[in-house]
């Protein structure tokens, strides 16, 4: 019996794993190599603050900063996953509290703003925390639809099941933000 995805995924959507794929070691220098070298050399407090932008758990950010230097992006992403799997419920709650609220471009239709706010409010009322979802596989034009569809599907989850899905989405968001951080380059 095939496993059903937890979130609706269009047939033509790219594989989300490819969004953070690590290029082969024998290829040309990766765009992230300079960012990683710079990041590894940052003072501890600056690295921890940067990691807090990727995941709002102080324990996670502290652990990630303490384990530097990372030899390559693959090792950094593996460490991120491992630290994410080790988060206690309080750490996850702290990370969720740091997640930005839902927002749309100010030019989006009023109905879209209302629908998004209502869906988030219903989700928060049911589960007691912000809804998080990694949207790397989608274009910005698809984000609102994917968030609304994700909330609709996940509202059917039991609390324990949703807790696990939420933790996975936080790990995916952290990975995505780390890749963005490493490719942004120094000072960006």
Query: pLDDT below 70 — which residues of the chain?
Result: 1-34, 185-188
pLDDT at position 108: 77
User: Hunting for tokens 């790219």 — which residue is that?
Assistant: 14
186 dihedral zone (left: phi>0; alpha: psi -120 to 50; beta): beta
Whether residue 181 contacts residue 64, with contact meaning beta carbons closer than 8 Å, is answered with no
What is the rounded distance in angstroms from the CA atom of residue 185 to the CA atom of residue 30?
A: 12
Half-sphere exposure of 55 (CA within 13 A, CB side): 33
pLDDT at position 142: 87
**Mean per-residue pLDDT of the chain:** 83
Share of the chain above pLDDT 90, in %: 63
pLDDT at position 22: 38
Share of the chain above pLDDT 70, in %: 80
pLDDT at position 183: 87
pLDDT at position 57: 97
């Amino acid at each position: 019996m095939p496993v059903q995805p937890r979130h609706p995924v269009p047939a033509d959507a790219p594989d989300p794993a490819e969004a953070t794929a690590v290029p082969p070691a024998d290829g040309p220098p990766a765009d992230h190599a300079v960012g990683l070298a710079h990041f590894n050399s940052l003072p501890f407090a600056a690295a921890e603050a940067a990691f807090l932008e990727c995941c709002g758990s102080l324990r996670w950010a502290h652990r990630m900063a303490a384990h530097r230097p990372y030899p390559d992006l693959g090792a950094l992403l593996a460490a991120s996953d491992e630290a994410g799997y080790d988060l206690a419920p309080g750490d996850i709650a702290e990370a969720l509290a740091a997640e930005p609220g839902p927002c749309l471009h100010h030019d989006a239709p009023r109905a879209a703003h209302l629908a998004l706010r209502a869906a988030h409010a219903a989700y928060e009322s049911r589960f007691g925390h912000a809804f998080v979802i990694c949207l790397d596989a989608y274009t910005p034009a698809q984000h609102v639809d994917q968030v609304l569809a994700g909330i609709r599907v996940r509202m059917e989850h039991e609390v324990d099941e949703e807790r696990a899905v939420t933790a996975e989405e936080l790990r995916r968001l952290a990975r995505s933000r780390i890749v963005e951080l490493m490719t942004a380059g120094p000072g960006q």
